């Protein structure tokens, strides 16, 4: 699955498996991050909030949404960062999410001409095809001619 | 701890407790996200990699780094998103991280004048005071005069 | 949040956030403690028991009830012990609990006059305001004059 | 609870406590094994599959089914292996399973006459008494006369 | 293993298996209770504290110490409460704990003469046979003559 | 990755990523299965046992070993069962395991001629290339001509 910068094609897309978000996931994530805010963990409190129900942590939707895409390793690429991480809709217990990925940008990497930057626009979608998370995943990818 | 937009002061800083990252944290996060890449979980594989050691998932450093700051609720604020999420240095098993937060920007919110945007620049630091994660946390915060 | 013995006031009260107890919490606690008794884990068995439903472990209600109160550190205090831990009502899956804390006693500490004992009476309440756990948390708290 | 080879009696049976399988168990097992296939984790995907619902991992039914029997240690016995592991019916979220164990075979151990082989036929049953897992657990058990 | 009040004998003792407390246990318990105080989770902070090392949560030592004893069910008994819960020594990562239990008291139960109270004094010991937790577990146990 | 019975080739092999087994994995698996035997969890007890160290649960080596191979779905295949599951060597904390898979047998399926049986011999290997688990994974695989 190893792909050089040159082998990444603009507008290529892929989509991950889906995963149903459970109460247990929220308990897990609260427990791992220490964020026990009642918006995520207190059913009674949430009844009085705009969404009426417990909502997933944004950091969890991000971690699972990105994790879903971690199925094959590209040894020529590494994560440079993420831009414009947004949460347009909440994720509720019982929602099923999947991640849609599109290559939306390729640019040179100013600091080192052996690498280029590839931007994968990630949209995490729920079962109603609504975007619940948007971000731009920037990858630092080795260039092929490098090896000459 | 409720604070309106007007009550947020530029350059105000705070720092969280620290937390030592354990092997168990990496196992946990792999298990919760499904990212079992050998960079995080395979000691033998890592011996041949640049860092020589297993490294924490970026999504985990982000989740825990932000989670550390979730100690008191501000009912007038909600997360709008995160910008420029970067991972300048890896986090290794045994490192102790904490989050330094500074209010670096306040602007109007174009879509709704009852709210303003507050940017908290978050730096997750390790025990050597090196930045292992940088991001700009954008908060949507209610304005006070709203209530008039 | 540092408070000396002298700064603790009898009858002062505080109340924690709430937290909804999930099936996952019981699975977690069974897994962490090794107590897999069917009263907690076997729906069919429980149908024939007085409460008809699976009930939370007492040690879990205690751990979470006390954990809910761990939001700010007082460097001058440490736990001395707990007295009269009782479980007046069971906790069921889906119940939301919170902890009500009242300072009910202050006494000298016989073994060391630089410290005093402060008793916090903790009541864990469910969403119907019923007491599901009662205990007296004894804190060993440094006295102020100590520092002179 | 220590029993020598000679003290194991053909056709002796025992049955374990029951345990209700939860959504959290599946999340846990996926997280621990890395098997995030949608048959176990994606409610929407499963709606279009023969069973219509998420099903437990076979390795989990095996691990919990055998784990249920781990209540007392026999210092004279150790696991030699398992044969004919089969999964006649799926386990769904909410099912309550228990393990029925019968000693079905005793034979000499060719490689070392100080030990014998005892076969425990394990049937994991659900609340409808249907077999959801079958296997033959082979134990290597010390012989008594050994000690002479 | 069912035993009536009359069948409990003063000064009877039993001892559980041992269990080595790991870093993972502390992570788990912090995650389950929400108590992320640096005394338990921050190696650097602890270097400057009296014990120099991270210490287990008291509620964890209690939960695991009591959990270790949950190996066989007595249908005639239920937990009434715990008295004098104390933590004479800290538990560190790598310590191995086990629980020593002695029946130290039997009394009538004033509210219902069909039951009696049995007190089990529980001492959780580390590998150096030091008491790390002391408590008196009060059990409400059915009387035999009841059935006449 | 969909492959019919006819597309499976005898002696084809593949190998999974590796994964380092941690103390946390053993804690996890004990907690999920309820098997808290001291062979897995009590460092002091193990010092007096033949292996001197805590060993992984056989059911865990099996679950993780098989889980490592769950990277791509073949919609034409399902697990029929496992035969000859054996544990030739123990797995210790810190060992790194991976799974080697070879197609060793293909036969007709007596009960339904639309399917065939494919046997994958799985060997879980440690970092010294020693076999720590052996089993024969039997898959029920749809035949191609079926679709005609």
Question: A73: pLDDT confidence band, cut at 50, 70 and 90?
Answer: confident
**Contact (CB, 8 A) for B136 and A83:** no
**Contact (CB, 8 A) for D67 and D59:** no
Which of F15, F16, F22, F72 to mutate against chain B (most B CBs within 10 Å)? F22
Q: How far is D77 from chain F (nearest CA, A)?
A: 13
Mean pLDDT, chain C, integer: 95
Q: Do B24 and F20 touch (CB under 8 A)?
A: no
Q: Which residue of A has its CA nearest to D24?
A: A24
End-to-end CA distance of chain E: 21
Has residue E111 got a pLDDT over 70?
yes
Picking from A67, F89, F32, A93, the residue whose alpha carbon sits closest to that of residue D34 is: A67
pLDDT at B65: 97
Q: How far is D11 from chain B (nearest CA, A)?
A: 41
Mean pLDDT, chain D, integer: 95
Q: Which residue of E has its CA nearest to B26?
A: E24
Lookup: tokens for A121: 């626009």
| Structure confidence by residue, pLDDT tens digits, D11-70 | 999 999 999 999 999 999 999 999 999 999 999 999 999 999 999 999 999 999 999 998
**Contact (CB, 8 A) for A121 and A104:** yes
Cα distance between residue C125 and residue C95, in whole Å: 10
Picking from E19, E36, F26, the residue whose alpha carbon sits closest to that of residue C33 is: E19
Q: Which residues, other chains included, contact F128 with Cβ-Cβ below 8 Å and sequence gap of 6+?
A: none
Has residue F146 got a pLDDT over 70?
no
End-to-end CA distance of chain C: 21
What torsion, rounded to 10 degrees, do the Cα atoms F130, F133, F135, F137 define? -100
Cα distance between residue E125 and residue E110, in whole Å: 33
**Contact (CB, 8 A) for E35 and E106:** no
Cα distance between residue B97 and residue A111, in whole Å: 28
Sort out which chain B residues have CB atoms less than 8 A from F18's CB and list them. 38, 41-42, 44-45
**Contact (CB, 8 A) for E30 and C63:** no
Question: A71: pLDDT confidence band, cut at 50, 70 and 90?
Answer: confident
> At how many degrees (to 10) do helices F23-33 and D58-67 cross?
80
Please tell me if residue D36 touches chain A, with a CB cutoff of 8 Å. yes
Please tell me if residue E13 touches chain D, with a CB cutoff of 8 Å. no
Phi-psi region of A11 (alpha: psi -120 to 50; beta: other; left: phi over 0): left
Residue C104 sits at φ, ψ, to 5 deg, of -115, -5
Q: How far is A64 from chain B (nearest CA, A)?
A: 5
Complex prediction ipTM: 0.94
Q: Which residue of A has its CA nearest to D28?
A: A24
Closest CB from C18, C24, C28 relative to A44: C18
Has residue E4 got a pLDDT over 60?
yes
What torsion, rounded to 10 degrees, do the Cα atoms A67, A69, A73, A75 define? -90
Q: Do F63 and D59 touch (CB under 8 A)?
A: yes
pLDDT at B71: 84
pLDDT at C140: 97
CA separation (Å) from E64 to C22, C137, F24?
20, 19, 16
Q: Do C31 and F36 touch (CB under 8 A)?
A: no
Cα distance between residue F60 and residue F112, in whole Å: 33
Average pLDDT over residues C30-43: 96
Average pLDDT over residues E3-14: 96
Please tell me if residue D20 touches chain E, with a CB cutoff of 8 Å. no
Please tell me if residue E80 touches chain C, with a CB cutoff of 8 Å. yes
DSSP-based three-state secondary structure for C101 = strand
Closest CB from F23, F24, F41 relative to E19: F41
Lookup: tokens for D36: 């995030």
* Sequence-ordered strand ranges (E) for chain F: 13-15, 19-20, 77-86, 96-108, 115-125, 131-142
Cα distance between residue E141 and residue B32, in whole Å: 43
Picking from F63, E129, B42, the residue whose alpha carbon sits closest to that of residue D30 is: F63
pLDDT at E73: 87
Has residue B136 got a pLDDT over 90?
yes
Sort out which chain A residues have CB atoms less than 8 A from D54's CB and list them. 20
Please tell me if residue E71 touches chain D, with a CB cutoff of 8 Å. yes
Cα distance between residue F60 and residue F28, in whole Å: 10
**DSSP assignments along B5-46, one per residue:** GGG--TT-EEE---EE--HHHHHHHHHHH----HHHH-HHHH
DSSP-based three-state secondary structure for A45 = helix
Sort out which chain C residues have CB atoms less than 8 A from D19's CB and list them. 36, 38, 41-42
Lookup: tokens for D129: 């008494």
| Dihedral (CA of E134, E138, E139, E141) sign | positive
Question: C28: pLDDT confidence band, cut at 50, 70 and 90?
Answer: very high
Picking from D135, D59, D130, D127, the residue whose alpha carbon sits closest to that of residue D93 is: D127
| E contact residues 37-66, partner F, Cβ 8 Å cutoff | none
Domains and CATH numbers, chain D: 5-147 (3.10.129.10)
Cα distance between residue C136 and residue B72, in whole Å: 26
| Structure confidence by residue, pLDDT tens digits, F72-126 | 889 999 999 999 999 999 999 999 999 999 999 999 999 999 999 999 999 999 9
**Contact (CB, 8 A) for E19 and E98:** yes
pLDDT at F73: 87
Q: How far is E72 from chain D (nearest CA, A)?
A: 9
**Within its chain, how far is the Cα of B83 from the centroid?**
11
Residue B117 sits at φ, ψ, to 5 deg, of -105, 130
């Amino acid at each position: 699955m190893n792909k050089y910068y040159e082998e990444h094609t603009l507008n290529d897309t892929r989509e991950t498996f889906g995963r149903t978000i459970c109460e247990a996931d929220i308990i897990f994530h609260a427990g791992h991050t220490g964020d026990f805010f009642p918006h995520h963990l207190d059913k009674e409190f949430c009844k009085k909030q705009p969404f009426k129900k417990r909502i997933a942590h944004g950091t969890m939707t991000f971690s699972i949404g990105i994790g879903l895409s971690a199925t094959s390793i590209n040894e020529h690429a590494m994560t440079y960062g993420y831009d414009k991480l947004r949460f347009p809709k909440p994720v509720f217990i019982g929602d099923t999410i999947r991640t849609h990925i599109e290559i939306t940008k390729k640019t040179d990497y100013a600091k080192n001409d052996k690498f280029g930057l590839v931007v994968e626009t990630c949209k995490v979608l729920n079962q109603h095809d609504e975007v619940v998370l948007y971000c731009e995943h920037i990858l630092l990818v080795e260039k092929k001619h490098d090896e000459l």
